[in-house]
Structure 1
Amino acid sequence: MNKISVIIPILNEAKTIKALLFHLIDNASLQTISEIIVVDGGSTDNSIAIIQNLDLDIVLLKSPKGRAKQMNIGANAAKGNILYFLHADSFPPNRYDQHIINEIEKGHQAGCFRLKFDHNHWWLRLASWLTQFSWRACRGGDQSQFITRELFDEIGGYDESYIIYEDNILINELYARNEFVVINKKIKTSARLYRKHGVWKLQYHFWTIYVKKWLGASADELFAYYKKYIC
């Protein structure tokens, strides 16, 4: 029987983590979820206390800071044959577990959901609408990532040299192998960075990072740009 291990890297996610964990349980069948793993990268808020005080069976792990490292640690501890990587501010659709398993049973070893931002700006609505298509340029970690354990291990997991853009590096590898499907159901994600920086300013920086990587920028160069303009 297919079993999903949900893996959530966090760093100071006290505002959303409780709601997300209840959402994951309320919108899935316990028969299909192997475990929910939260990997903390050194939170200094009360994220850990919130998780520990919940009457839920959550696997809580600690890791050095960095989503790639955190997700790899979570994957190493996972027992399911399907890994589902999820950002702490992204809420997958009802029956997300069955949607994922349906694709696995069709022979699709990896993929994501289409996106919906919790913001009504016209550009974010357009960007969300575009994520239903299979174009590589429309992919990102906020859409979540499911992948079979077998394929994840074959690829070698997330590249830990990337402090940012780690989701895209894995997605690039999946597209190169023609192993990616977009489930036409919406995952709702926070537009908090767009609210913080402004829609156009942040979108410009994201496009710049995308182009820099396309032109051959190193992981360190991408992180330096992110740290200067976004972090």
Structure 2
Amino acid sequence: MISIIIPILNEAETIENLLFHLIDHASLDHISEIIVVDGGSTDGSQALVKNSGLKIKLLHASKGRAKQMNFGAKQATGRILYFLHADSFPPNRYDQLIIDEVKKGHQAGCFRLKFDSNHWWLRLASWLTQFSWRACRGGDQSQFITRELFDEIGGYDERFIIYEDNVLINELYARQQFVVINKQLKTSARLYRKHGIWKLQYHFWTIYVKKWFGASADDLFVYYKKHIC
């Protein structure tokens, strides 16, 4: 059984559509629960979840994706945890695709990425995510991981306000426990549209390099807050 965990903060634009998408594109026999963990939304996101008519667990946690996802994981009952951003829509039968990989012995992984943009760079970046290269990974691709392995690692590192997905992915690559499912998950390019593709890509690369050279969680957040947030 899969527990889907979605951290949100002001995601009224997409959260309702995502919840129905998750129900419509999976077998409910495989889904233990869908858990939405709110970090203090003020745009009506909580009401949309409550009024969706779906059986969704709406939890409240301190702001910060790592904290929210860890909190959701503590409440989850499934053997497989599936962490998903509110603007990322997994492929049809995502549940069976994940279960098939776990049965093969792959305890963690993600899907290929496809941005909702036709810009050539984002199309190229999307195409590259089919490969297992570490540099092509990110939280927007979603993350499935067995409960056993998640607990063994200790969950998401809550010191990281940003880059928390990549820190966990680094742990998984170090353990050689990561697989890329060759099916496309569609995610929003809204941040690229807001800041400009090349400007945002430059800042993302800078954050990646800073972490590579040992930047602390606070250093990364200060840079992100100054240039992106």
Aligned to 2:17: 19
Q: Which runs of 5+ in 1 are unaligned?
A: none
Equivalent runs, 1:1-231 vs 2, <5 Å? 3-231=1-229
Indicate the SS of the match to 1:170: helix
What is the deviation of 1:20? Answer: 0.1
- What do the CA deviations read for 1:42-82 (whole angstroms, capped 9, x no partner)? 00110001111111000000000000000000000000000
What is the deviation of 1:12? Answer: 0.1
TM norm structure 2 = 1.00
The aligned amino acid for 1:100 is I
CA distance in 2, matches of 1:166, 1:105: 27
Runs of 4+ in 1 over 3 A off after TM superposition: none
Indicate the SS of the match to 2:34: strand
CA distance in 1, matches of 2:49, 2:2: 20
Q: Which runs of 5+ in 2 are unaligned?
A: none
CA distance in 2, matches of 1:142, 1:179: 19
Fraction of identical pairs, as percent = 82
Indicate the SS of the match to 2:28: coil
CA distance in 2, matches of 1:9, 1:123: 28
- What do the CA deviations read for 1:133-174 (whole angstroms, capped 9, x no partner)? 000000000000000000000000000000000000000000
The aligned amino acid for 1:172 is N
The aligned amino acid for 1:202 is L
CA distance in 1, matches of 2:195, 2:117: 14
What is the deviation of 1:222? Answer: 0.1
How many pairs were matched up?
A: 229
CA distance in 2, matches of 1:147, 1:52: 27
Indicate the SS of the match to 1:113: strand
CA distance in 2, matches of 1:11, 1:201: 24
CA distance in 2, matches of 1:24, 1:86: 10
